[in-house]
Amino acid sequence: MIQAARDGDLDSFNRLVLVYQDLVYNHAFRMVGEEESADDATQNTFISAYNHLGSFRGGSFKAWLLRIVTNSCYDELRRRKRRPTVPLEPLDDAGEEVESARWMVDPGNQPEEQVEQAELQRAIQHCLDNLPGDFRATVIMVDVQGLDYFEAAQAIGKPIGTIKSRLARARLRLRDCLNGFAELLPAGFRLEIG
Partner 1 sequence: MKNQITSRDYELISAYLDNQLNEKDRALLETRIRTDPELRNELHEISKTRILVHSLPQLRAPRNYYVNATAVQTRPSHQLAPIFGIVSAIASVLLALVIFGSTFLKSSSQVAMAPALPVANETIVVQQEVQRSAVTPLPPTEAAPGVLMGAPLRASPTPNIGALKIVQTENATPTTIYLFAYPPTSIPEKLVTLNEEQNEISQIQCEEYYGSGAYPTLTSQYDCPTPTPSNTISSFLDILSSPSPTPTTTPTPTITPTTTPAPTGSPTPTASATPTPPVVPPSIQNIAPTGGAESQTGITSPDQVVSAGNPTPAGQEKTVNPGPNLSFLNYLLLTVEISLAAIAIIAGIVAIVIRVRAG
Per CB under 8 A, 135 contacts partner 1? no
Q: Which one, of 157, 121, 119, 161, lies nearest residue 137 by Cα?
A: 157
CB burial of residue 64 (10 Å; 0-12, 13-18, 19+): buried
Among 128, 137, 155, 156, binds partner 1 (CB under 8 A): 128
Q: Which one, of 21, 26, 25, lies nearest residue 121 by Cα?
A: 26
Among 19, 52, 79, 107, binds partner 1 (CB under 8 A): 79
How far apart are alpha carbons 124 and 121 in whole angstroms? 5
Per CB under 8 A, 12 contacts partner 1? no
Per CB under 8 A, 9 contacts partner 1? no
Find all residues with CB under 8 Å of 159, minimum gap 6, and list them: 153
Per CB under 8 A, 19 contacts partner 1? no
Q: What is the dihedral angle through the alpha carbons of 59, 60, 61, 63, rounded to the nearest 10 degrees?
A: -130
The 33-52 contact track toward partner 1, x by CB under 8 A, reads: --x---x--xx--xx--xx-
Sites of contact with partner 1 (CB under 8 A): 10, 13-14, 17-18, 21-22, 24-26, 29-30, 35, 39, 42-43, 46-47, 50-51, 79, 83, 120-121, 124-125, 128, 139, 142-144, 146, 148-149, 164-165, 167-169, 171-172, 174-175, 178, 185, 189, 191-193
